[in-house]
Amino acid sequence: MHEKLNEFKQIMAEIADLNTAASVLGWDQQVNMPSGGTEARGNHLATLGKFTHELFTSEKVGKLLEELSSDASALGPDDAAMVRVAKRDYDKETRVPGEFIAEMAMVSAHAHEAWFEARAKSDFSIFRPNLEKIVEMTRQYVQFFPPADHPYDTLLDNFEPGMKTADVQAIFNALRPRQVQLIKKIAAAKQVNNAFLHKKYSEKKLWDFGVDVVTQYGYDWSRGRQDKAAHPFETTFSINDVRITTRFEKNNPIAMLFSTMHESGHAMYEQGVNIEYERTPLQRGASLAVHESQSRMWENLVGRSLPFWEHFYPRLKKIFPAQLDGVSLRNFYKGINKVEPSLIRVNADEATYNLHIMLRLELEIGMVEGRISVKDLPEIWNAKMQDYLGVVPPNDALGVLQDIHWSGGMIGYFSTYALGNLVSAQLWEKINKDIPDLDEQFRKGKFDSLLGWLRENVHRHGRKYDPQDLVQRVTGSKITAEPYVRYLTAKYSDIYGL
């Protein structure tokens, strides 16, 4: 058994190395690569994807997994979890031909560049043929698997293991009317003024301030770095090499700061995984929702909180005296938490953000079912924006082309953003019970207790536990909307005097 386990771990390490090589190429494509490199980069990723798939789905790996899982009781808890997770991944990947993996990598590489051009020119027609191919291949991918309760289940399970389409729809259907009710109450109240956020700010000074903030959070720069990208993201090459990106928007400069906070939340999760899981199937986070709970927690529950700014606002005001002249701490706090239906998901306030996600979920389900045609997406997108948020995008760049995810074939991903919001609030209630003086620590610029709690209860476990099991293990219940509704209601009742 020991020899078989060691052989299995060696193969898993080699697969992890191949996946990391692909991640490095993907990071470079979004950060450094000239547009002329698209064809070659597509070939690089396709070749790596094919070799990785063939190695992982080999007969040798299948036999090792069968033998190890048949006697799992002889394994330690970590090794048993590693085999269980790898077997689940293996059962999925053996259903998908290597040629399909390679083709999807090539199609996605071209789609990314087409999306970038289409977004820059605000012209969906440039991206449309690529997205049509991705949707076609996504439907083909679903056919490789046994029939599920809903075809979208197969896609959702790739990002949120064990979650069903019906589960997400039930959570969203219960949450939507309560969020809409809160938004209506806020709309009837006196609106806060955040004009000071849209003045001209120095990109370099905001960058430096963001670096200072996430350094105090606990992001380890000896194991990370930050670059610029069209769509901010975090990527992991190793537990000891976890990178983030951000972007600067002239019309919304402060968004750069919150983008840095957000991505650092993802990165600190990855930096906190048990080092023993390096180059194993357990190395990554439990799921996209659990991952998003970390980024949204550090961005919003910490970074948009009043205690946080009681510590940081004097410093920010000193850096930007002209922009923040006459703006009190309380008014700044209200300004960065202003609730106003907006066009861009990543810049949406906490009260309206989930509605952006619900819109995308409906579109994805419609495309998978064949009810929604890609050519009609801009029109349907705009109609749903009007219906959900009361705003209509003036062009494709601010509408259907704003997210990068579909260009990478990541259909099934979006609902995890909203689920992450819910998980963040569930964890937050537990954290505040365990660390009752958390606000006071933030006022002093101390975040080590929070990070330590997350390291112990969430980060170190990696993929050892399924997401719903991890959430229940930590909070006492599976994913629920109640804590998030309580959080939003309390926060915005204070800000808007509801």
Query: Does some domain include residue 316?
Result: yes
Q: By residue range, what is the domain housing residue 482?
A: 165-496
Query: Does some domain include residue 154?
Result: no
pLDDT given for residue 11 in this prediction: 97
Query: Does some domain include residue 152?
Result: no
Same domain, 249 and 392: yes
Give how far the C-alpha of residue 274 lies from the chain's centroid of Cα atoms, to the nearest Å: 21
Decide which of 118, 147, 176 is a domain's last residue: 147
DSSP state of 343: S
Same domain, 141 and 100: yes
Strand pairing category for 241-246 and 226-228: parallel
pLDDT given for residue 253 in this prediction: 95
Same domain, 347 and 425: yes
Distance CA 401, CA 60 (A): 43
Same domain, 468 and 379: yes
pLDDT given for residue 1 in this prediction: 73
Q: Is 456 a catalytic residue?
A: no
Same domain, 70 and 19: yes
Same domain, 246 and 202: yes
Same domain, 196 and 306: yes
Q: Which pair of tokens denotes residue 465?
A: 């536990």
Query: Does some domain include residue 155?
Result: no
The domain tally of the chain equals 2
pTM of the model: 0.90
3-state secondary structure at position 382? helix
- The answer to whether the CB of 223 falls within 8 A of the CB of 240 is yes
Spatial strand order of the sheet with 226-228 comes to: 226-228, 241-246, 234-238
pLDDT given for residue 443 in this prediction: 98
Cα 79–Cα 272–Cα 476 angle in degrees, nearest 5: 75
pLDDT given for residue 347 in this prediction: 83
Same domain, 214 and 89: no
Decide which of 114, 147, 180 is a domain's last residue: 147
3-state secondary structure at position 241? strand
Distance CA 261, CA 300 (A): 9
Same domain, 190 and 136: no
Q: Fill in the amino acid letter for 250.
A: K
**What is the crossing angle of helices 350-369 and 151-159, to 10°?**
130
Query: Does some domain include residue 361?
Result: yes
Taking alpha carbons only, the member of 317, 330, 322 closest to residue 192 is 330
* CATH number where 233 lies: 1.10.1370.30
Same domain, 139 and 216: no
Same domain, 142 and 170: no
Same domain, 371 and 484: yes
Decide which of 113, 147, 181 is a domain's last residue: 147
Distance CA 312, CA 111 (A): 41
| Greatest C-alpha distance within the chain | 70
Of the candidates 263, 350, 362, 364, the residue annotated as catalytic is: 263
* Phi, then psi, of 243 in degrees rounded to 5: -110, 155
Below-70 pLDDT ranges, the chain:
none
- The answer to whether the CB of 364 falls within 8 A of the CB of 154 is no
Query: Does some domain include residue 157?
Result: no
Query: Does some domain include residue 160?
Result: no
pLDDT given for residue 230 in this prediction: 85
